[in-house]
Amino acid sequence: MKSRVENLFNILCREADQISVEKFATQHNVTSRTVYKDLSTLNQLLISQGLTSIQNARGILTYEAPVEIEFSELVKKDDIFYLDPEMRRRVILNLVILRAREISISELQHAIGVSKNTIQRDLDEVKKSFTGSYFCIEATPFKGVSVTGNELKIRGLFADNLTKDWPYLNAFISVQDSERINQIKTSIDEISNCLQVEYSENAQQKLIAYMLVSIARFKGNKLLGLPCNIDKPDLLGSPEYGAVNKCVDNLKELYGEDITEDELYFLSAKFRESTVVGMSDYISENWIRLRILVSEFINKMDQLVTPSNFANDEKLFESILNHLRPAYWRAVSGEAVYNPLLDYVVNEFEGLYKATAESIYILEKGLSVSFSDDEIAFLTMFFMASQERTKRPVELRPKVIVVCHAGVATSEIVSSRLESKYEVSVLGTFGLNEAQKWLENHSIDFVVSTFPFTYKNVKVVEVSPQLDLRDQRKIENILRVSEKTISPDEIISIVSQTVTLSKSDKKTLQKKLEEYLGFLPKQDKEERYCPMLEEVLTEDLVETHYCAKDSDDAVREAGRLLVKKGVAKEEYIEAMIENVRINGTYIVIAPGIAMPHARPEEGALGIGFSLITLEQPVNFGHPKNDPVQLVVALCAIDHQTHLNALADLAELLSDEENVQKILKADKAAEVIAITSRR
């Protein structure tokens, strides 16, 4: 949680925006007097760094030009803890947790830089906050204070607190812990390279926090008891557990040679809960179910948000699918997720957020979990990005008016200089009262004024009549963020103000606009046909009692049938084998059943399923579901068109009686009779 002073700094000094004292006070639920105190504090910090102070003109706060430094660079350690008492208490609690054994009041004083009385008061406040909770702070005479209680939740609290205060880490972390963090980063890099994934910055910070506290607590003999919601056999088959064990030598250097199996399970679970970026493949536990659920979720959003084109957005589908796996495991374990943009998403994209919240039941019911508001906001952001992808920048001049109280001549000079220097349309020059009246019935991009001027929800740039270099920088800064975009839904919204359009009309008009403006690739301009299983699994795609040498041979034979049918290229076979090598455990979807596949761009030509039964079972490397005797190879051209067939197949194979009938069949026709349920 940022302090008010930091928020004020970001608005005025980083974004070069303006805000009234009254508005800022309302946003933060404080008095104007408190805001003026914050302003005084911030100006002192700016001046101490050789920067100019914030201007206050009749309660309107402005700054001359954006600064490059972050707020964390502006303040010293003592300043940080003075400005934000809540943060100070979080840091005190984290220092106590990190010690594992007792830490003295004088050590806390030295680390924080405040008085003994302040430390004592803060500890009392922390105790009050967590009364009756899962841990308690204990004081031992002549030794200090320590934290005892539910070890799993204590570690979680530390990780949450540390990630919130990450920008100020160097202000309170010890040299020893700083060196340990560098070692932890190396270990995380090794594990992520082994998994062939890249973790988001927030996920890396959370992993560092968990490893830092786990190492300290483990060395302090604070042993971990894993909860019942961590399924050890299931985790045992995860790629994260495999990667953690491959890198165990590095981990032993951090934890010690006696690192326990529970610690390895716990660390594997935290990697599994971590969000990845740029994932090369989206296979995971229950990947068939996840793909079907994500498709249903997106289709529901497509119905609620009109106009939209979510169902045809491949990037949206893959992004949500990649996000859903760690989100699911976070929900299962009760891991808190913090979305710093929650308020922004809820307030600025209210309709989209409400639609996401209304549709989330599809994922929650299908996965038997409940997602927090923060997680729903993350999912909303994927739809925000999808909408942004349907926009196009257009060459439209920003609309501007000039407000001046020094006479017509001055107004004309400012107006002429604006139009000669910048690609703007000056719609008129006004005095104070005329401008306010004119703005009641007109919309513009911003106002250029030669004196302090405000109007609700309108950006104002205050300049001198000479329009000097400082003024020009202000204008250039606001022009940089004034790029115009156009999207089909914006056009439809304008048309709807004049013409009544039904939901069907809007959908049709949206599609035609998308085609005309070039938003849709050719394949998206027609409704996609989603065939049923009996249409894509035919007799020529079935082989019984194949004698496979190993898993590669079994996959290659299933792939050969797809190539022979003409739905895949030869390279698709090798891509499937490589995918089995990387994701072998998840290819085996149930006891005795494997479903190899590759990505559409790796040689898919159409939709197809091939099915082979094996004379003798072979191992794919799954700890529970090996050996495999039934192999179904999947070939798909996108995320959507194969899902009807996939859902049919999943339902069919969920019945053990059907599986046994297929394995006993001697001819392809017998298998087809079962799969088509004739």
Q: What is the DSSP string of 100-120?
A: SS-B-HHHHHHHH-S-HHHHH
Please report, for residues 234, 276, 325, 461, 580, the alpha-carbon distance to residue 197 in angstroms, rounded to integers and kept in the order given.
20, 7, 14, 46, 16
Token readout for 497 is 């103000």
Tell me if the bond preceding 627 is cis, omega within 30° of 0.
Answer: yes
Q: Which residue has the tokens 């880490």?
A: 169
- Give the residue among 304, 284, 303 at the shortest CA–CA distance from 235: 284
Q: Which two tokens stand for residue 306?
A: 């009109």
Query: Structure tokens of 150?
Result: 């539910």
Could you tell me if 123 and 145 are in contact, meaning their C-beta atoms sit under 8 angstroms apart?
yes
CA 392 – CA 382 distance, rounded (Å): 18
The helix (H) or strand (E) run that includes residue 581 is: helix 570-587
Write the single-letter amino acid at 98.
L
How far is the C-alpha of 493 from the C-alpha of 371, rounded, in Å? 32
Distance CA 588, CA 628 (A): 8
- Name residue 393's amino acid: P
Q: Based on the residue annotation, tell me whether 545 is a catalytic residue of this protein.
A: no
For 187-297, strand residue ranges (E) read: 198-199, 276-277
Catalytic one of 597, 622, 639, 642: 597
Which residues contact residue 451 at a Cβ distance below 8 angstroms, ignoring those fewer than 6 apart?
403, 404, 405, 462
Residue among 647, 634, 622, 533 nearest 289 (CA): 647
CA atoms within 13 A on the CB side of 496: 16
How far is the C-alpha of 114 from the C-alpha of 93, rounded, in Å? Answer: 15
Measured CA to CA, the distance from residue 155 to residue 597 in angstroms comes to 39
Reading the block at residue 616, the tokens are 């003798």
Which one-letter amino acid corresponds to residue 512?
Answer: K
DSSP string, 4-25: HHHHHHIIIIIS---EEHHHHH
583 touches 574 (CB < 8 A)? no
The helix or strand, by DSSP H or E, that contains position 553, with its residue range, turns out to be helix 551-565
Residues involved in catalysis: 597
